[in-house]
């Protein structure tokens, strides 16, 4: 299959990455419709969790005046978002397998 014309930087980068994966023995599998539905459900669930967390966080911040307490709440918020992101990513990876 001879490609005619110039390729974009994106196409060249994708070809390099595919070759690198092939050399490393990484197998590419297509995601089934069932897996797509499960992944979409997981993402929707966690988007709702993120929205809930954001609303609660903003409500708490409005009540705080002490900068030290605000910093503590910001750190808790950051940790909660990271935890939810990790959970979401783990569940998505599990759904793909």
Nearest Cα to Cα of residue 50 among 4, 87, 18 = 87
pLDDT band at 18 (very low <50, low <70, confident <90, very high): confident
d(CA 33, CA 55) in angstroms, rounded, equals 33
**In the numeric block, which tokens belong to residue 94?**
């599990």
Whether this model's pTM surpasses 0.85: no
Ordered DSSP codes for 34-92:
HHHHHHHHHHHHHHHHHHHHHHHHHHHHHH---HHHHHHHHHHHHHHHHHHHHHHHHHH
What pLDDT is attached to residue 22?
85
């Amino acid at each position: 299959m001879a490609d005619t014309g110039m390729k974009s930087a994106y196409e060249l980068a994708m070809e390099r990455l595919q070759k690198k994966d092939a050399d490393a023995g990484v197998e590419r599998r297509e995601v089934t419709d069932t897996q797509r539905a499960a992944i979409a459900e997981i993402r929707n669930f966690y988007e709702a969790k993120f929205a809930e967390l954001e609303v609660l966080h903003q409500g708490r911040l409005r009540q705080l005046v002490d900068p030290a307490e605000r910093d503590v709440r910001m750190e808790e918020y950051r940790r909660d978002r990271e935890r939810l992101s990790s959970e979401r990513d783990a569940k998505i990876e599990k759904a793909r397998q």
